[in-house]
Amino acid sequence: EVHLVESGGGLVQAGGSLRLSCATSGFTFEDYVIGWARQGPGKEREGVASIDIVDGKTFYSKFVEGRFTISRDHEKNTVYLQMNGLMPEDTAVYYCAAGTNFGLGPGLYDHWGQGTQVTVSS
């Protein structure tokens, strides 16, 4: 059974940093694309970053490019999202997801974690 477990969320001041982790199990890590999406209060879920586990190819939303970095650790079957320069509008529940198609659209992903809350104060 596929499991995705996010961690690392919390409360941070504007301009601060957080690193989210997505620990995966129950599937062959290299067979999937892993993405991060977020859902802010009253907003639709939106993709923010994705990574092809095999070749490391990455893709970012225009709203986070240059501030967020997605990476993977093959030994730990874990994907990270390093978030720098956080802004209040980044406040959301952040989810990691696994799928077989590369891209940001939440509809591309088949399996989802439970999410971790990120709150950025001004």
User: What pLDDT is attached to residue 102?
Assistant: 87
Q: Give the whole-angstrom CA distance, residue 101 versus residue 11.
A: 32
Max Cα-Cα span within the chain: 41
Percentage with pLDDT > 70 across the chain:
100
Residues 4 and 36: beta-carbon distance below 8 Å: no
Q: What is the per-residue pLDDT across 28-69, written as a single tens digit (0 to 9) for each?
A: 999 999 999 999 999 999 999 999 999 999 999 999 999 999
Provide the β-strand partners of residue 9.
none
